[in-house]
């Protein structure tokens, strides 16, 4: 029996939805004359992806993308997570189970194309993994202790052992007066929210029951680990550009591009 060849290309799918409590109509927010989701897609097109597709929940997003030559699909509005939207996009695109799909968030207009390539390449090189993602070394103590900064710890083969909002690994001897005074060494790792999947796993993932640790930490990737799936992690030497969650973030990105 012959073994099927590994996929040589990958698809970037950018989930985009209008509903955002902190920044309404976020995908269409203007950044230097272009909608934000178009900016993200243009960055992704600079990667080695064989195709870049926006998975939208609103016809206005589709129209904005098509007006700038970006391929967009209209997906259902009732998806409970970005993973569900990605799974529907895989179905609409007819991707085979072994196809590699990279989820680039629709609010990352400064994402580096090289990081997209690294996450895709890592998954292709690690057949034992169902997913891939990225992390970088934390340089500031306030990030280590901030629950809004997700941390990850790895095994010897750079597979994720756990993701948490807590400061992990817990530095037992690094506290004074009940608080950390400095960062442990080696530096802890901050998780970067970009994911690679095999399309077959992406179709399976929404059917997996949510995990208790996922609910407690509010981290969807823990569901995969709870059910025994492995996540390979690429360590990038540089922190990614800022994402856009709030009006203040939007002003920051506009200023960076203007400069």
pLDDT tens digit sequence for 8-43: 589 999 999 887 667 788 899 899 899 999 999 999
Q: Would you tell me the crossing angle of helices 36-45 and 59-67 to the nearest 10 degrees?
A: 50
Helix (H) or strand (E) holding 137: strand 131-137
pLDDT tens digit sequence for 223-240: 999 999 999 999 999 888
pLDDT tens digit sequence for 39-76: 999 999 999 999 999 999 899 999 999 999 999 999 88
Give pTM, 2 decimals: 0.90
pLDDT band at residue 179, thresholds of 50, 70 and 90? confident
Of 155-164, 169-178, 246-255, the range with the highest mean pLDDT is: 155-164
CATH topology of domain 10-258: Spore Coat Polysaccharide Biosynthesis Protein SpsA; Chain A (3.90.550)
Please give the pLDDT value at position 2. 36
CB 201 within 8 A of CB 214: no
List, as own/partner pairs, every contact residues 225-229 make where C-beta atoms lie below 8 angstroms and the sequence separation is at least 24, other chains included. 225/160, 225/162, 225/163, 229/129, 229/130, 229/131, 229/201
CB 132 within 8 A of CB 145: no
Neighbours of 114 (CB within 10 A): 13
Domain ranges across the chain: 10-258
């Amino acid at each position: 029996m012959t073994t099927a060849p590994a996929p040589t290309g990958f698809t970037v799918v950018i989930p985009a939805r209008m509903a955002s409590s902190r920044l309404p109509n976020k995908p269409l927010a203007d950044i230097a004359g272009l909608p934000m989701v178009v900016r993200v897609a243009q960055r992704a097109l600079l990667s080695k992806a064989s195709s870049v597709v926006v998975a939208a929940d609103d016809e206005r997003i589709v129209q904005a993308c098509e007006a700038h030559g970006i391929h967009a699909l209209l997906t259902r509005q009732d998806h409970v997570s970005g993973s569900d939207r990605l799974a529907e996009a895989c179905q609409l695109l007819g991707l085979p189970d072994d196809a590699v799909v990279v989820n680039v968030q629709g609010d990352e207009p400064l994402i580096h194309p090289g990081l997209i390539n690294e996450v895709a390449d890592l998954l292709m090189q690690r057949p034992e993994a169902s997913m891939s993602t990225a992390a970088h070394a934390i340089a500031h103590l306030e990030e280590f202790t901030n629950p809004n900064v997700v941390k990850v710890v790895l095994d010897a083969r750079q597979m994720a052992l756990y993701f948490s909002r807590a400061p992990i690994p817990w530095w037992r001897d690094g506290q004074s007066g009940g608080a950390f005074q400095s960062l442990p060494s080696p530096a802890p790792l901050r998780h970067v929210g970009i994911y690679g999947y095999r399309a077959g796993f992406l179709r399976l993932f929404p059917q997996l029951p949510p995990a208790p640790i996922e609910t407690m930490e509010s981290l969807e990737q823990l569901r995969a680990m709870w059910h025994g799936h492995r996540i390979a992690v690429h360590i990038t030497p540089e922190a990614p550009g800022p994402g856009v969650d709030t009006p203040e973030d939007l002003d920051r990105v506009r200023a960076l591009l203007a400069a």
